[in-house]
Amino acid sequence: MLEYLKVNGEKNLNKTLAEKIITKHLAEGKLEPCKEIGLQIDHTLTQDSTGTLTYLEFEAFGIPQVRTKMSLSFVDHNILQNDFRNADDHSYLQDVAASYGVVFSKPGNGICHQLHLERFAKPGLTLLGSDSHTPTAGGIGMIAIGAGGLDVAAAMAGETFYLQMPKIMGVKLNGALPPFVSAKDVILEVLKRLTVKGGINKILEYFGSGLETLSVPERATIANMGTETGATTSIFPSDKMTKAFLRSQGRENHWIELKADNHAVYDEILEVNLEEVEPLVALPHSPDKVKAVTEVEGKSVDQVCVGSCTNSSLRDLKIVAALLKGKKISDNVSLTISPGSRQVLENLSASGELVDIIRSGARILENACGPCIGIGQAPQTDAVSIRTFNRNFKGRSGTQSAEVYLASPETAVAAAIYGEIKDPRILGNYPKINIPEKIVVDYNMFIFPSPKKHAGKIRRGPNIKPLPNFPPLAQKINGTVLLKLGDNISTDDILPGGSAVMALRSNIPEISKHVFRFLDPNFSEKAREKNGGFIVGGQNYGQGSSREHAALAPKYLGVKAIIAKSFARIHLANLINFGIVPLTFVDKQDYNSVNQGDVLEIDTENLDQYLILKNFTKDTEFKVELDLSDREKYLLKAGGKLAAIKAKFTRK
């Protein structure tokens, strides 16, 4: 369907917006769904917890400067400085940015996606980011994709980014949202319908009259959490709302109009009538377990957290301030507020609205990810926590027994005031918020690279260890099934977040001790003892984050192949990049015939599409699929992408 009809040698005018931007950036391939394409990347972004590896990888290529229109390095995740380790990472990131021509955003400046949207995002460009919520910039009309650090490092080096051409799902929004229902409810409605795997290898392209009422920050909330459907990215047109946002940011000159052609053909269409959307909430422990707030009303709440890259914009915090004004939060609730950026905080402060938040009894945290990834504010045992965030996987808050619900800022405030889950419509009149025509803009915590002043020595703390090297793929891989898992295993399950583990992101030998820590506390010792082996998974293995550590650390422990029913997109690319063979069951029933402890063998000499897996324990064999492009097979054979790219740059 995406093949353009040619009329007199001319392409027809029925393109979706995503197709238009992809066509402009197409380096290789054709726009045929499920076929590999190569894209040129304009902007890259990294954040600190994936960034240290990304820059170590970039350094290994041995090229003098980044080759993008703009590359940015943000520090927003590991900002708790309990000892030297995170601070050392920050100084490494700052030095490496100065050396290679990367814009650096200092710790405390804000969350990467919010900052990029405010200050740098431009309609019509491509962005690749080493964070799975990079699609946030789709809210302004960019094709913005999350990827593993190595893919981002390669894009910084000017390399083409490869991905499967996604199907384009048109999401038609009609009408306008009722009071107390906001962008978060729209994406929760989409998640309810699509589930956490319904968006895999799709782009969600929004259109319809409903867009007229949604500002860029609201669109960004929706685009951000499209990630939770597994989508490659989400995109909105660039229209008068986009122009107004850029004007308020003092960047109206970056605006261009962008939209799909009138008769654009989508592969499928999802329709949402905004006036019918009601306040929604995602129940523990998955973002797609969506129910109406009214269905869970009355549940007592211990903690409420507002913030994260999903809901920390000026619009969101203004609503929170207006709803909290003159009110006091429940004695039994701890309410935390993490503004998305210093700009948000400064504007709230300039307008006096910050006082309304502070007076209600809220705890103001740093402008960073914070509790979203378990960096502080872990709730108490068995707590119920309502969060405006995008993920509620078990244990991600830092407390295994906590129950995390995801909701809009409006629903979060109602819970904070009443101490229980409440329909926010109880709060009375829906306040009309006022976003000034020109907001206060502040560049003080960005460091722009100077073309003249080449930075000196790069500081590397003792926790920053060299990247491990891996040999080419063996002709046969064999070993034990180290772990058998169910569906939707997230990268948080594979390698947890939280301040203790995340401080080890630059140290693969150390962080690998935490692989599968909460699913099998002895996993790393077992893997070492058995000299590596296999993992068996269900559907959507590796959903969630872009952290390549979830591939690299298991590889370091000797994991050779994952056999799953299906894979999440970014994790699949990360497995290939680090030389772990990603196999799928041809007959899903075969999943039932393999058990933990079984000894398996696969001949990997010719990486054909179908391979035979021998189970020596059961004395059986069955077919598994290796559905990869030739390029991906080459990377696997070479022992991963780093080895392959290094070889390319040293040849030049």
> Smaller CB distance to ligand MIC: residue 43 or 77?
77
Contacting ligand SF4 within 274-293 (CB under 6 A): none
Answer with the entry of ligand SF4, ligand MIC, none that 50 interacts with (C-beta below 5 to 8 A by kind): ligand MIC
Contacting ligand SF4 within 126-145 (CB under 6 A): 131, 133
Answer with the entry of ligand MIC, ligand SF4, none that 111 interacts with (C-beta below 5 to 8 A by kind): ligand SF4
Reduce the DSSP state of residue 282 to 3 states and report it: strand
Answer with the entry of ligand MIC, ligand SF4, none that 204 interacts with (C-beta below 5 to 8 A by kind): none
Question: By the criterion CB under 6 A, which residues form the site for ligand MIC?
Answer: 49-50, 77, 131-133, 373, 497, 544-547
CA–CA separation, 194 and 152 (whole Å): 28
Answer with the entry of ligand MIC, ligand SF4, none that 547 interacts with (C-beta below 5 to 8 A by kind): ligand MIC
CA–CA separation, 307 and 413 (whole Å): 12
DSSP structural state of residue 300: B
Our answer to whether residue 263 is catalytic in this structure is no
The reply on whether position 191 binds ligand SF4 by CB under 6 A is no
CA–CA separation, 403 and 384 (whole Å): 5
CA of 498: how far to CAs of 66, 82, 151, 514, 571, in Å?
31, 13, 24, 11, 20
DSSP structural state of residue 434: -
CB of 77 to ligand SF4, least distance (A): 6
CA–CA separation, 14 and 146 (whole Å): 27
Answer with the entry of ligand SF4, ligand MIC, none that 543 interacts with (C-beta below 5 to 8 A by kind): none
Answer with the entry of ligand MIC, ligand SF4, none that 311 interacts with (C-beta below 5 to 8 A by kind): none
Our answer to whether residue 528 is catalytic in this structure is no
Catalytic pick from 25, 77, 116, 254?
77
Given the structure tokens 């999401």, which residue do they identify?
A: 171
Our answer to whether residue 77 is catalytic in this structure is yes
CB of 58 to ligand SF4, least distance (A): 20
> Smaller CB distance to ligand MIC: residue 71 or 546?
546
Q: Find the angle CA(218)-CA(219)-CA(221) to the nearest 5 degrees.
A: 65
Reduce the DSSP state of residue 335 to 3 states and report it: strand
> Smaller CB distance to ligand MIC: residue 75 or 643?
75
Catalytic pick from 490, 545, 546, 566?
545
Interface with ligand SF4: number of residues (CB under 6 A): 11
Our answer to whether residue 408 is catalytic in this structure is no
Q: Find the angle CA(519)-CA(525)-CA(527) to the nearest 5 degrees.
A: 80
> Smaller CB distance to ligand MIC: residue 287 or 544?
544
CB of 615 to ligand MIC, least distance (A): 34
> Smaller CB distance to ligand MIC: residue 460 or 547?
547
Answer with the entry of ligand SF4, ligand MIC, none that 54 interacts with (C-beta below 5 to 8 A by kind): none
CA–CA separation, 111 and 104 (whole Å): 13
How far is C-alpha 239 from the geometric centre of its chain's CA atoms? 25
> Smaller CB distance to ligand SF4: residue 338 or 411?
338
The binding track of 388-407 with respect to ligand SF4, each residue x by CB under 6 A or -, is: -xx-----------------
Among 103, 111, 624, 645, binds ligand SF4 (CB under 6 A): 111
Answer with the entry of ligand SF4, ligand MIC, none that 516 interacts with (C-beta below 5 to 8 A by kind): none
CA–CA separation, 559 and 561 (whole Å): 6
Query: Contact at 8 Å (CB) between 578 and 548?
Result: yes
The reply on whether position 369 binds ligand SF4 by CB under 6 A is yes
Our answer to whether residue 598 is catalytic in this structure is no
Answer with the entry of ligand SF4, ligand MIC, none that 308 interacts with (C-beta below 5 to 8 A by kind): ligand SF4
CB of 391 to ligand SF4, least distance (A): 6
> Smaller CB distance to ligand MIC: residue 234 or 360?
234
DSSP 483-541: EE--S--BHHHHS--SHHHHTTTT-HHHHGGGTTTTT-TTHHHHHHHTT-EEEE--TTB
Q: Which amino acid is at 133?
A: H
From 153-161, 365-373, 469-477, 550-558, give the range in contact with ligand SF4 by CB under 6 A.
365-373
CB of 576 to ligand MIC, least distance (A): 17
From 97-105, 148-156, 285-293, 366-374, give the range in contact with ligand SF4 by CB under 6 A.
366-374
CA–CA separation, 397 and 12 (whole Å): 50
Answer with the entry of ligand MIC, ligand SF4, none that 86 interacts with (C-beta below 5 to 8 A by kind): none
CB of 47 to ligand MIC, least distance (A): 6
Kindly report whether the peptide bond that precedes residue 90 is cis, defined as omega within 30 degrees of 0. Answer: no
Query: Contact at 8 Å (CB) between 577 and 162?
Result: no
Token readout for 549 is 């550590």
CB of 370 to ligand SF4, least distance (A): 8
Which stretches of 211-311 are assigned E, i.e. beta strand? 233-235, 268-273, 280-282, 290-292, 303-306
Which residues touch 152 (CB under 8 Å, ≥6 apart)? 44, 45, 46, 50, 54, 128, 129, 130
Our answer to whether residue 566 is catalytic in this structure is no
DSSP 545-604: ---THHHHHHHHTTEEEEEES-B-HHHHHHHHHTT-EEEEESSGGGGGG--TT-EEEEE-
Task: Give the number of other Cβ atoms within 10 Å of residue 392's Cβ.
Answer: 24
> Smaller CB distance to ligand MIC: residue 511 or 576?
511
CA–CA separation, 565 and 583 (whole Å): 8
Catalytic pick from 113, 133, 396, 547?
547
The binding track of 299-328 with respect to ligand SF4, each residue x by CB under 6 A or -, is: ---------xx-------------------
Q: Which amino acid is at 636?
A: L
The reply on whether position 229 binds ligand SF4 by CB under 6 A is no
CB of 247 to ligand SF4, least distance (A): 26
DSSP structural state of residue 452: S
Token readout for 258 is 């962008």
Farthest-apart Cα atoms in the chain, separation: 72
> Smaller CB distance to ligand SF4: residue 133 or 315?
133
Which stretches of 222-380 are assigned E, i.e. beta strand? 233-235, 268-273, 280-282, 290-292, 303-306, 334-337, 363-364
CB of 121 to ligand MIC, least distance (A): 18
Among 372, 427, 553, 594, binds ligand SF4 (CB under 6 A): 372
Q: Catalytic residue positions? A: 76-77, 131, 391, 545, 547
User: Which residues of this protein are in contact with ligand SF4, per CB under 6 A?
Assistant: 77, 111, 131, 133, 308-309, 369, 372-373, 389-390
